[in-house]
Amino acid sequence: MYAIPDRIADRYELTDPISTGGMGQVFRGYDTVLDRPVAVKVIRPDLVTRPDKYPELAARFRREARVTARIEHPNVPAVYDAAVDTDQGMLYLVMQLVRGEPLADLIAEQKPLPIATVAAVAAQMCAALSYAHAVPVVHRDLKPGNVMIADDGTVKVLDFGIAAVLRTDMTRITVTGTQLGTCAYMPPEQISGGGVNPRSDLYSLGCVLFEMLTGRTVFPPEYGPLQQQNAHAYEVPSPPSLLVSGLPEDLDRLVMDLLAKDPEARPASAQDVHDRLVPHLPLPDPTAPDKPLPPGGMPDPTRPYRRPMAPRPRKPVEKPTRPLPPTLVEPTDRFIPGLDPGALSEADAHAQSLIADERYAQAVGVLDEVIDPAASALGTESDQVVELRLLRATALVFGGDAGRALPEFTALADVLERQAGRDDPRALLCRQQAAYCLALLGETTRALRAGEELLVRIREVGGDRSEDALDLRQAIAMWRLRSGDTERAARELGGLYDDLRAEYGPQAPETLQVAELMARLSRRDRP
């Protein structure tokens, strides 16, 4: 085994392993500079066997990574960084983290897949390959495990990071004589050690198509690696139609063309394969209902064709929580399945520390891991869960994710009002944050209406000069300006200025900020 550090280049923190391959491991990571989750592929350190050759190898790695990063396409995860950590002796790629399900899981769940789903997956793979082959880059390891279906149905072809670059002026990182690829999907020319080309990827695509249509690999899974290689090199596969009845004849023929032993007998390009798949793609219907993806459900790769350029899928509507007595307090030592004792307090402290360091996305991730198990065991309105949800909503809004923060603040306000009454300070604060989220999302009219209703309640509880009232009054004035009601906004700013001056003094930052805004409005109104 080889050791992988917890942090690379003093920037990328590695958390959970996602997958392991012959060239290295892929980790779920966190970019501490840009506050976002990433995927980090660490090339195996033990592949670098000669320290005197390490600088040359690192230079080649950078060169290939730059070429790979040129595959700018929605069906290929973006490459963010590729570098060498000289202190650790590591080569690594930092990529877009894809949230979704592997194609292998989709096949296992639904085998064989519906024709429209097969066509949608394969057509999106062809789109990615056509751009890669134009670079030119050959993937060399296409298989269901290297294809992800994102939550919105977009297909992502993974692991271009170790692909072969088809440029004669570039030295490959691949060790001479080493076979990259998986036996069940490897083309004959790759097995024999011959050169690969774009049509090699098309053979592997044919293997994936075969598996989607039939639910099994081209050659029996009982075959060992050597048998698999011999079969791909010499045996003629059975057509998919012999295993599954009712397959369209043209799809059956496409698979067999892709699985031709001679590369020259295969389709000429990924574009040609795409064209033959088009008749089986679902027709666009942007007005059709867009069903939300249920928790744990498999994403639908036909969606990009049925609803082209559509917004991201709606989230499922949550059922109302079961009303709980307002005095219910669950014991802190209650067993929570899936979590260690003390996990909630540890997550709370860890997330607060991350928020203090402005690492909002990572704080949300820490809280996501414990909130659902805690809610299942303790109830969604238990004290512990409510505190964690409040912290998560705060991290979301600080991190700029108003879309997720809005429904959470609204739901928490409802919970706190049921538990502590309509005038509970934290319930009012959640309502206020929800109004701010509406404004951040461009819903100025709704934000203004919510703010005006809330201001009445805040004034009743704390008066016109409470901190919350003053903050909300300024926000409402700004929203009026944004909606074009300049005259009313100017009047409200005048009253706000007087109260800020009386409460904080004439030189307080809050007072000066409103004074400057009023001066700008005054200059704008002059003839």
* 330 in any annotated domain: no
In a shared domain, residues 292 and 171: yes
CA 144 – CA 12 distance, rounded (Å): 28
In a shared domain, residues 163 and 220: yes
Q: Count of residues for the chain?
A: 527
In a shared domain, residues 383 and 519: yes
* Domain at 202, CATH number: 1.10.510.10
CA 268 – CA 155 distance, rounded (Å): 23
Helix (H, G, I), strand (E, B) or coil at 151: coil
List beta partners, residue 94: 40, 81
pLDDT given at position 329: 28
* Best CA proximity match to 251, nearest among 243, 260, 239: 239
In a shared domain, residues 462 and 413: yes
Helix (H, G, I), strand (E, B) or coil at 457: helix
In a shared domain, residues 301 and 355: no
In a shared domain, residues 252 and 128: yes
Last residue of a domain, one of 46, 72, 95: 95
pTM: 0.65
The answer to whether residues 49 and 42 touch, using CB atoms and an 8 Å cutoff, is no
**The pLDDT of residue 287 is above 90:** no
Counted domains in the chain: 3
CA 415 – CA 438 distance, rounded (Å): 20
* 288 in any annotated domain: yes
* Domain at 18, CATH number: 3.30.200.20
Q: How many CB atoms lie within 10 A of CB 251?
A: 21
Give catalytic residue positions: 141
CA 289 – CA 291 distance, rounded (Å): 6
Greatest alpha-carbon span in the chain: 90
pLDDT digits (tens, 9 = 90+) for 160-202: 755 554 543 333 334 333 444 578 999 999 888 767 889 999 9
More confident residue, 488 or 122: 122
CA 94 – CA 184 distance, rounded (Å): 28
Structural domain containing residue 302: 100-306
pLDDT given at position 53: 60
CA 30 – CA 206 distance, rounded (Å): 36
* 104 in any annotated domain: yes
Residues 6+ apart with CB under 8 A from 194: none
In a shared domain, residues 151 and 67: no
pLDDT given at position 177: 37
For residue 287, give the amino acid letter: T
Alpha-carbon Rg for the chain, nearest whole angstrom, is 29
Q: How many CB atoms lie within 10 A of CB 166?
A: 17
* Domain at 396, CATH number: 1.25.40.10
Last residue of a domain, one of 78, 95, 112: 95
In a shared domain, residues 75 and 145: no
Helix (H, G, I), strand (E, B) or coil at 149: strand
pLDDT given at position 298: 84
In a shared domain, residues 276 and 378: no
In a shared domain, residues 149 and 270: yes
pLDDT digits (tens, 9 = 90+) for 311-345: 877 655 443 333 333 322 233 455 677 777 778 88
The bridge status of strand 79-85 relative to strand 7-8 is unpaired
* Helix pair angle (360-378, 383-398), 10° resolution: 160
CA 270 – CA 128 distance, rounded (Å): 9
Share of the chain above pLDDT 90, in %: 37
* 317 in any annotated domain: no
* 328 in any annotated domain: no
More confident residue, 456 or 443: 456
* 397 in any annotated domain: yes
Last residue of a domain, one of 306, 333, 362: 306
* 189 in any annotated domain: yes
In a shared domain, residues 34 and 156: no
* 131 in any annotated domain: yes
In a shared domain, residues 69 and 212: no
